[in-house]
Structure 1
Amino acid sequence: MRRLAIIALVAACCAYALYAGLFWRQQRYLLFPIASPERHALRAPLPQYGRLVELPASFGTARAVFLRGPQGVAPAVVYTHGNGEIVDQHVRGFDAIRALGFHVLLVEYPGYGGADGETSLENIAQASVAAYDWLVRQPDVDRERVVAMGKSLGGAAAAELTRHRPVRALVLQSTFTAVADFASQLYLPAWLVRDPFDSVARLRAFAGPVLVTHGRRDELIPFAHGERLAAAARAATSRWYDCGHNDCPYEGADYLALLGNFLQKAVK
């Protein structure tokens, strides 16, 4: 019996090691599912007020798109998208924010949409910092009034930016607490996570106002993540919607009114 127990224990340990090894190898595919080694120029036609921004980085060239606001010197929003999107999809999607008097800078992830580099927390942070530094050098951007905003993974990237550069406020849409929390749900230790994106830690250290929104029926990032993020922020405004992960009304009148009110107060 003892021998059988030892054999069973060894087999279980081997199976767990294989499971953990699979997670180690595949986690970036799970986190960055549309990252690709294909390299090409931005394919989306830019509106008249849009400008492609390319900046030197350790992985090659970081890419962003600047959407100029309708007025002169103005505050700006740095936006980072979800993990199943690319910047091309958003070049005409920020009219409501621009109408409030904001410039918008869309940051592309390395390895996404034909952009240079491997997708990782380190490279996303580097691209975001390079884009931010370019933004605040522009004469028509009020460098004291820059807001970071992101959806899903993009919210975690926006929170990460606060670790590296001064940000006036933070907007998180359907964002997770930390990648390690997903690992623990899979019975895996946090040290296996290659790209932690610890948004809770970033919020605890951030003194500015934070807007947190989340869907109560989110099937990818459970609603509890949104609640924990709001609780971690020092100055949080939260709004919960009856939606899943990809059908929240972030282009609807209610959310845009909430966002507009938050942004206007944040940059006063």
Structure 2
Amino acid sequence: MNGFSFSGFCCLFCCPPCPGRIAAKLAFLPPEPTYNFVLDEKNNKFTLDLSQRAEWQYLPRELDQIEVFFARSSRGNRIACMYVRACPNPKFTILFSHGNAVDLGQMSSFYLGLGSEINCNIFSYDYSGYGVSSGKPSEKNLYADIDAAWQALRSHYGISPEKIILYGQSIGTVPTVDLASRYEVGAVILHSPLTSGMRVAFSNIKRTWFFDAFPSIEKAPRITSPVLVIHGTEDEIIDFSHGLAMYEKCPRAVEPLWLEGAGHNDVESYGQYSDRLNQFINVDLNQSNT
């Protein structure tokens, strides 16, 4: 997400655009697709076909752990979905909303590794205009996209809400917070969350304007599930203050993970990251249910 010049600031307040335009200017950077969905000979099942841009050297048995298909959003877009069977007896299924400038092809190897490390299967999707999902990125599409993913996960695999953990990373925290404010689930993980689009662009803004995009800070108090917030203290894209604010607004927030010295794109490289996820899943959630 990029900052604005003073003239841009004036334009926003003197002639404020619609939230969709703020969202488009601040947030969406879909990469060149790194994968495709290929129909089998009987035309009844898709398989994942990764390009070299996905940068993953995989074995056939690893690809066999991944199921892919399309869901249809309420706004008419075809949403690419991926189900990663990372472990034989998963404790939960993670509904993962990924960060910016990546797609399912680039994330697939990470999902396999993460799922096996925390004993969870992972279900993910590409936003409208990302990967092979149709349409264009927009705030409204973002909310419709996660709804389509949620319904697909529930209907295709019969997983109950209390067995689903919503995980949002960066821009992915926006649809995650929106869904979590409307459904009670097993838990929520907010990784480098943003409070709102305007607050990312202008750090001194303390209120939510009517034309603001991604107003997650206003939805956080309605989340009834346990929430783990993760943020790097040296995040150069979404300031650490956003993580603090979201932590304070979530009624059932557990002990957060503040990674000293971590930026926006290296949180996963810290050992405390997987340790805290395992503690959250195996300890914190058990305590919250007793």
Q: Please classify the TM superposition score into its range, dividing by the shorter chain length.
A: 0.7 to 0.9
In structure 2, what is the Cα distance between the partners aligned to 1:185 and 1:261?
A: 32
Residue 118 of structure 1 is aligned with which of 131, 136, 160? 136
SS of equivalent residue, structure 1 residue 76 = strand
Query: Match of 1:50, as an amino acid?
Result: I
After superposition, give the CA deviation of every residue in 1:125-184 in whole Å (9 maximum; x if it has no partner): 111111111212245634421110011111222111213433221111111111132355
SS of equivalent residue, structure 2 residue 218 = helix
Partner of residue 52, structure 1: 68
SS of equivalent residue, structure 1 residue 213 = strand
Residues 103, 131 of structure 2: 8 Å contact kept: yes
**Number of residue pairs matched?**
253
Q: Which runs of 5+ in 1 are unaligned?
A: 1-11
In structure 1, what is the Cα distance between the partners aligned to 2:69 and 2:263?
A: 33
1:41 aligns with 2:36: yes
Residue 167 of structure 1 is aligned with which of 175, 180, 185? 185
Partner of residue 75, structure 1: 92
Offset of residue 262 of structure 1: 0.6
Point out the more displaced range, 107-116 or 93-102: 93-102
Matches within 5 A, 1:1-268: 16-17=10-11, 25=21, 27-34=23-30, 41-42=36-37, 43-44=49-50, 47-57=63-73, 58-71=75-88, 74-94=91-111, 95-139=113-157, 141-182=159-200, 184-185=202-203, 190-193=209-212, 196-236=213-253, 237-241=255-259, 242-248=261-267, 250-265=268-283, 268=286
The 3 A distance-change label for structure 1 pair 18 and 122 is closer
The 3 A distance-change label for structure 1 pair 243 and 121 is same
SS of equivalent residue, structure 2 residue 50 = coil
Offset of residue 265 of structure 1: 3.7
In structure 2, what is the Cα distance between the partners aligned to 1:232 and 1:143?
A: 22
- The structure whose Rg is larger is 1
Residues 52, 63 of structure 1: 8 Å contact kept: yes
In structure 2, what is the Cα distance between the partners aligned to 1:138 and 1:189?
A: 38
Structure 1-normalised TM-score? Answer: 0.80
In structure 1, what is the Cα distance between the partners aligned to 2:204 and 2:270?
A: 35
In structure 1, what is the Cα distance between the partners aligned to 2:134 and 2:250?
A: 33
Residues 49, 68 of structure 1: 8 Å contact kept: yes
Q: Which runs of 5+ in 2 are unaligned?
A: 1-5, 38-48, 52-61
In structure 1, what is the Cα distance between the partners aligned to 2:121 and 2:25?
A: 32
SS of equivalent residue, structure 1 residue 41 = strand
Partner of residue 3, structure 1: none
The 3 A distance-change label for structure 1 pair 97 and 265 is farther
The 3 A distance-change label for structure 1 pair 202 and 16 is closer
After superposition, give the CA deviation of every residue in 1:82-141 in whole Å (9 maximum; x if it has no partner): 122112111111223234332211121101123101211221111111111121224563
In structure 1, what is the Cα distance between the partners aligned to 2:146 and 2:12?
A: 35
Sequence identity of aligned pairs in percent?
21
